[in-house]
């Protein structure tokens, strides 16, 4: 039997404003975001294009052992647009299980939940919570770009944040959103929402990043008075004065006890500007290159935190050269390199191209050679 129209409207309003847990309350995350390097992991498939849970588990554990602070599923590398809803949940569930089974129960998972409608994004946020996610990453919608107003985009993010059972991280990536580039004023306005707790900036605008960091210090940030969601637990940054492990000590777990609270965390979205971002207050980076050379990315941040700026600059130069290769080859090339170096990776789902069909073996080998310098450093850091 159809629901009466007035009841449908009432249910819609509730779904857009009430955090979706069984108790009707915002779910407090059990794992804090710590300062450090995060990786947006690929979704791996077998030869029949079925989700390869063994490869996902192997990759997740390798990254955790390398010292990463967190994992993102369904990010730009995760082929979320190629996944059915149940597959998205399977990937996040498998990632959580892999972390727990490897002894990294403290590492959080950020789940990409951006969609073209507010309603679908909210649904994805709820599914992310059910499958073991700790935070959600929201990219702006872009299909009807010409019709969006500044106000409608603000309303989109705020509605998601008010309804999501998990805290929200805004994802600013013009290249994946038809050129939509959220400016610092917009990000600072969104940061006032109590359930919007961070931002990933892949726009490579360090000036914008600096403005957002400066404008979201705990002394300046004032939550919107008219929002009904509870204030999410603080994100954590590692203070510069805290002793850090030596750069050669590559596999210790992060120190949870020496971090200081902050209201909002900003992450660089690419490894090629990680050091400049750290220098203006970023908590770290959520970077695709960490899938291939996680220890080198971690070593850069540790060098910076240890005030070893000469080493940090040297590592940044290496990562910048490797990151250029990543940006050119995309997720297909990332999988090609992982397959060549670590014996897992496989193909992306069609219609993305494949080696031997749409991509020559020579091109694939050129991609692998592009990582030789960074892999030499990665090997030395073992």
Residues involved in catalysis: 200
Q: Are 75 and 109 in contact (CB under 8 A)?
A: no
The DSSP code for 222 is: -
Q: How far are the Cα atoms of 57, 77, 252, 253 from residue 65, in angstroms, in the given order?
A: 12, 20, 8, 8
With H, G, I as helix, E, B as strand and everything else as coil, classify residue 268. Answer: strand
Say which residues have a Cβ less than 8 Å from residue 270's Cβ, sequence separation at least 6: 202, 204, 285, 287, 288, 289, 323, 327
Say which residues have a Cβ less than 8 Å from residue 244's Cβ, sequence separation at least 6: 238, 302, 305, 306
Neighbours of 163 (CB within 10 A): 24
Q: What share of the chain is helix, strand, coil (3-state, %, to 5)?
A: 45, 10, 40
Q: Are 182 and 212 in contact (CB under 8 A)?
A: no
Quick one: which of 138, 87, 84, 85 has its CA closest to 110? Answer: 138
With H, G, I as helix, E, B as strand and everything else as coil, classify residue 127. Answer: helix
């Amino acid at each position: 039997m159809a629901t009466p129209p007035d009841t449908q409207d009432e249910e819609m309003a509730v779904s857009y404003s009430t955090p979706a847990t069984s108790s009707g309350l915002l779910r407090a995350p059990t794992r804090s975001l710590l300062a450090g390097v995060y990786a947006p992991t690929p979704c791996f498939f077998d030869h029949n294009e079925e989700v390869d849970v063994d490869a996902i588990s192997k990759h997740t554990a390798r990254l955790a052992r390398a010292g990463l602070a967190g994992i993102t599923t369904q990010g730009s590398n995760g082929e979320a647009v190629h996944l059915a809803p149940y597959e998205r949940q399977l990937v996040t569930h498998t990632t959580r299980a892999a972390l727990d089974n490897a002894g990294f129960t403290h590492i959080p998972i950020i789940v990409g939940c951006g969609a073209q409608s507010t309603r679908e994004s909210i649904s994805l946020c709820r599914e992310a919570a059910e499958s073991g996610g700790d935070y959600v990453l929201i990219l702006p919608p872009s299909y009807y770009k010409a019709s969006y107003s500044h106000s409608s985009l603000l309303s989109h993010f705020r509605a998601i944040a008010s309804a999501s059972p998990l805290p929200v991280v805004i994802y600013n990536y013009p290249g994946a959103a038809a050129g939509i580039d959220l400016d610092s004023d917009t990000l600072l306005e969104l940061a006032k929402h109590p359930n919007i707790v961070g931002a990933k900036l892949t726009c490579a605008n360090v000036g914008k990043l600096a403005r957002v960091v400066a404008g979201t210090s705990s002394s300046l940030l004032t939550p919107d008075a008219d929002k009904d969601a509870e204030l999410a637990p603080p994100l954590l940054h590692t203070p510069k004065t805290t002793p850090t492990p030596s750069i050669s000590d590559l596999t210790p777990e992060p120190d949870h006890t020496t971090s200081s609270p902050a209201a909002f965390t900003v992450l660089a979205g690419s490894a090629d500007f990680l050091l400049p971002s750290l220098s203006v207050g970023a908590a770290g980076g959520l970077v695709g290159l960490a899938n291939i050379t996680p220890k080198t990315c971690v070593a850069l941040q540790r060098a910076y935190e240890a005030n070893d700026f000469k080493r940090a600059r040297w590592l940044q130069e290496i990562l910048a050269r490797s990151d250029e290769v990543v940006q050119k080859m995309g997720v297909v090339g990332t999988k090609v390199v992982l397959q060549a170096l670590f014996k897992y990776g496989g193909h992306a789902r069609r219609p993305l191209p494949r080696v031997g069909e749409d991509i020559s073996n020579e091109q694939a080998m050129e991609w692998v050679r592009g990582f030789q310098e960074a892999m030499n450093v990665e090997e030395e850091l073992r």
